[in-house]
Structure 1
């Protein structure tokens, strides 16, 4: 067996009165590659901080047998200094600017921090969302680099492709508990699906047994009631002495039947409530005549030139985006994807829009709502959709029927982000513009977003470095390369 590099035993951590993590046992070994998954706010980053030793548990042990490097999701940027021993070849291949005195983009800062971590080898490596802001080329480079990493690697990531390529074990963090699954992310999903099938089979079995017992109780009660009626009639009549014992026997039998009914009812209570876990159904978005467009190409560009400072991003490009398509804009970091989306939203020079275009854009919400009205009431005030559609959207985003009654002020950061996602889809629009919508949201919310986009009746423009997300949602993929916008996937006409 490989050498033990990390062991967690009987560990618990809480903040205030809220329990965050409670882990009986977890271990990692040399050369293991572990992916940590779970909804936002479940404690994934907290677990990495415990492993790194930057916070201490309330009780229990978190024992590191080796030194761990730690790539944090959010960290104050530090420029390159003379004390940094950076791998020059890695800096070049990652596309990190040599002169870091100039302002760096989010992707360039991530690349520099990754280079700094990977240039200082340790036997353990912790990474919290390392692919955030990275373009597809940089993500693939990072995967290639980490494939040859010798040591224990523990990664929190919402990038399913990244996890599939690298990890061989999944730690799922849910409601403070850690559950271990063997294999990569796709293997984990298969195992979860199998668990759901088995749980549903058991639930169906229990439901059938409850139904059988309920019918038996009903029969016993009817039998007892009938015997009670007969007994009452007999009491009104003159009963001869030789029949008295027979009447007492009937009373005894009646009590036995009633006792049997109570025993069956007790058994029903022991079985408890059962609920089948169903698959999420696609949302059916109602269409509005006011938002209907008949222009085959509601968004067009004629001789569009884009610049950012002294840098030219696009030079005299023509394009036309078809009605009802889900269109991904791809390209390397700094190629101009976000700039193009903003240019379209601002109706820049050369952009031709259908007069009936109504945009909605997704805004990341990293703050808590202050309103006291409930989640459901808040969304109903944002929309003309019926309540059942709004409830379906919230259900797909993981909100239970109880949680939609919570006041907005009580929402966690992760819940607020999911409400921001819901707002995007309940407000009236016929064109969605999404700039890296998968950044900072958990995998379950990403998968719900995929379903929403596929069901949305209008046109969608988005940028994303999430390979799986783009492949699942886009039916047209355009790429910015060499200052041109080139169609890479899908037909121009439909």
Structure 2
């Protein structure tokens, strides 16, 4: 056990963040800590880090435990040292030893006493043990993995923007290799290649990792547990985010069924009490029934979950078949070439995701398409095209003295106040928040207002630059749902792979100054890239004379009789296995039906221990059924393949 939170309660003033919550963190844990914005996820990390003290319960940590906490507060760090030196401070003890070794080397030139030689030998051994000889190389490796070029490594830390500084500090934290690594929204500061690098690095990380993130793809690939902060409790789920969604829905269904059955039981008991409480012969039984109801631990009704926005886009004009044409476009910043003689066509109905590493010019290309960026070449807008451009740095269009609700009303969308307030709720503006002045909002809040305005605009062509920044998972899903109903065309830039996978039917990349188009979804593009990498790998192997697959294996298979006999044997084996799986599935489904019948019995809820036993059995059986179904489907596919 690395960390144990035992029945903790933590409050900010009168507001409870958690009440009587427990959580045990063990070696090998990869935990996604999730919850709605504002519920206190970052606060829980600070409790673990020792920055806040709990008002009740205990926080116990293993002896000599090292903790690393990556969070926004790190930006207060300042330095004029190169980013390589800042990263290398992760090896503080090795650096100190290196200076001691230099001093001892100089002393040994004039004094070669046995005592000095032993000290020198011991320090050399410890330096090696601490990774001193590899610290420069490892720091370079991690910084370059997070997107820095080799020439960047000697640039002063102070010259970099906030997002790039956060990458340096993330690199330093990773290199320290703490027993428990806590990451608060790490992907906010990374582009796609850097996120993919971080995933690969953390998958082989020796310590435990706790991640707060709104990036579903990242959580799906990284975590083996989910802890949800919900209604002041920590709810534990095994598996990744996708598994969490399935299990949570199952828990909700079971809780709702439990609630309904318990309510029926309560009604029966109340009718019995009402009927017989005045009769002397039944009074004792009525009193017992009243006591049972008083002792009954009430099951709460399932809440409605996050609100779902149902606002359809309205398009004022139908555009022509071609939305925009770029011909022979060149764009340079000094010696940096973004586009060179690039051409592209955006057709009506295109849903384009523009992806790639930071610094490749994605936002510049969006501005070229919008006609707000000077360039060489030609941009030809289509007929009847009405565009709307959302970008976080283009917030000057907001009226600073307007209230948020009035800002949306001024768009002329024709939406009612109820609809506008519902939309603002999805962007985390609830209650009296809608009356706040734009002037007092933070940068992230202004960005959310601007995005809400974009959604209710009557444009038939949207340009969206990182629209999911500052949104929680439910708001991202709301935006996905809204875009899925949008009849217009859009080009978006995003590093949120789940968002891209749900919204794009074309992928654009800027490669060597050209716009490369892939017609298909993000998943199809990933598979295409994987195949390309395999081909390149095989070509490289051929060039080095290392390809081992050239042996004439196919010709040796030619006598067909033995192969057919083996195939027949394999087919019989597969048919037998398939039959066994069918019987297993039938038994599991029968057990499930029996448990559901038992759970529908109101008397079960009068006995808490019995109910918990039945509920646990149902959860376990559902997991077994899911696993058996997956095995059955694989066996069926194999059988079809053999029979074909």
TM-score range, shorter chain: 0.7 to 0.9
More divergent stretch after superposition (300-309 vs 150-159): 300-309
Query: Larger strand proportion, structure 1 or 2?
Result: 1
Could you tell me which residue of structure 1 aligns to residue 314 of structure 2? 287
Residues 1:432 and 2:462 are matched in the alignment: yes
- Seen in structure 2, the aligned counterparts of structure 1 residues 42 and 417 have a Cα distance that, compared at 3 Å, is farther
Quote the offset at 1:152 in angstroms.
1.4
1:174 lines up with 2:201 in the alignment = no
- Cα 1:421–1:107 shift into 2, 3 Å: same
Alignment match, 1:71: 70
Find the counterpart in structure 1 of residue 368 from structure 2. Answer: 343
Q: 1:98 — aligned with what? A: 153
Give 1:143 deviation, angstroms. Answer: 0.9
1:31 aligns with 2:87: no
Q: How does 1:395-474 map to 2 (within 5 A)?
A: 403-404=430-431, 407-409=434-436, 421-474=451-504
Matches within 5 A, 1:181-330: 181-202=237-258, 277=304, 283=310, 285=312, 287-288=314-315, 291-330=316-355
Look up the match of 2:7. 10
Distance 2:228 2:394 in 1: 25
Which residue of the partner structure matches residue 57 of structure 2? 60
Shift of the alpha carbon at 1:36? 0.5
Q: Considering Cα pairs closer than 8 Å and 6+ residues apart, tell me whether 1 or 2 has the greater RCO.
A: 1
Distance between the aligned counterparts of 1:71 and 1:26, measured in 2?
Answer: 20
| CA deviations over 1:133-176 (Å, ceiling 9, x no partner) | 32222111111111111121111111111111121111111233
In structure 2, the gaps of 5 or more residues are 92-135, 280-288, 522-644
Change (3 A) 1:415 1:190: farther
Q: Which moved more, 1:84-93 or 1:481-490?
A: 84-93
**TM-score, length of structure 1 as denominator length:** 0.75
The match for 2:380 is 352
Question: Where does residue 238 of structure 1 map in the other structure?
Answer: none
Conserved in 2, the CA contact under 8 Å of 1:206 and 1:274?
A: no
Change (3 A) 1:101 1:272: closer
- Displacement after TM superposition at 1:329 (Å): 0.5
Q: Quick one: which of 182, 186, 209 aligns to 1:153?
A: 209
CA contact (8 A) 1:105 1:334 kept: no
Q: Tell me how far 1:327 sits from its aligned partner.
A: 1.2
- Residue 416 of structure 1 and its aligned partner are, at CA, apart by 7.5
Q: CA 1:175–1:276 in 2, change beyond 3 Å: closer, same or farther?
A: closer
Give SS of 1:298's match: strand
Say which structure is richer in helix: 2
Q: What is the DSSP-based 3-state SS (H/G/I as helix, E as strand, rest coil) of the residue aligned with 2:355?
A: strand
Tell me, which stretches of 5 or more residues in structure 1 are unaligned? 221-251, 254-262
Q: 1:415 to 1:163 in 2, by over 3 A?
A: same
1:139 aligns to 2:164 (yes or no): no
Q: Secondary structure at the match of 2:46?
A: helix
Q: Distance in 1 between the 2:302 and 2:51 partners? A: 41
RMSD: 4.1
Aligned residue pairs total 436
CA shift for structure 1 position 74: 4.8
Match of 2:549?
A: none
Q: 1:278 to 1:45 in 2, by over 3 A?
A: closer
Is the Cα–Cα contact under 8 Å of residues 468 and 496 in structure 2 kept in the other structure? yes
Shift of the 465–119 alpha-carbon distance from structure 1 to 2, 3 Å rule, reads: same
1:361 is aligned to 390
Q: Which residue of 1 aligns with 2:167?
A: 111
Q: Tell me, yes or no, if the aligned pair for 2:41 and 2:229 is still in contact at 8 Å.
A: yes
Q: Which is further off, 474-483 or 376-385?
A: 376-385
How far off is 1:456 after superposition? 2.1
In 2, the alpha carbon distance for the partners of 1:137 and 1:274 equals 44
Q: Tell me the CA shift for residue 372 of structure 1.
A: 10
Evaluate the alpha carbon distance shift between residue 273 and residue 329 of structure 1 in structure 2; reply closer, same or farther with a 3 A threshold: same
Structure 2 CA distance for aligned equivalents of residues 5 and 325 of structure 1: 50
Residue 332 (structure 1) shift: 1.3
Superposition deviation, residue 29 in structure 1? 0.7
Summarize the Cα distance change of 1:489–1:133 in structure 2 as closer, same or farther, 3 Å threshold.
Answer: farther
Q: What is residue 41 of structure 1 aligned with on the other side?
A: 38
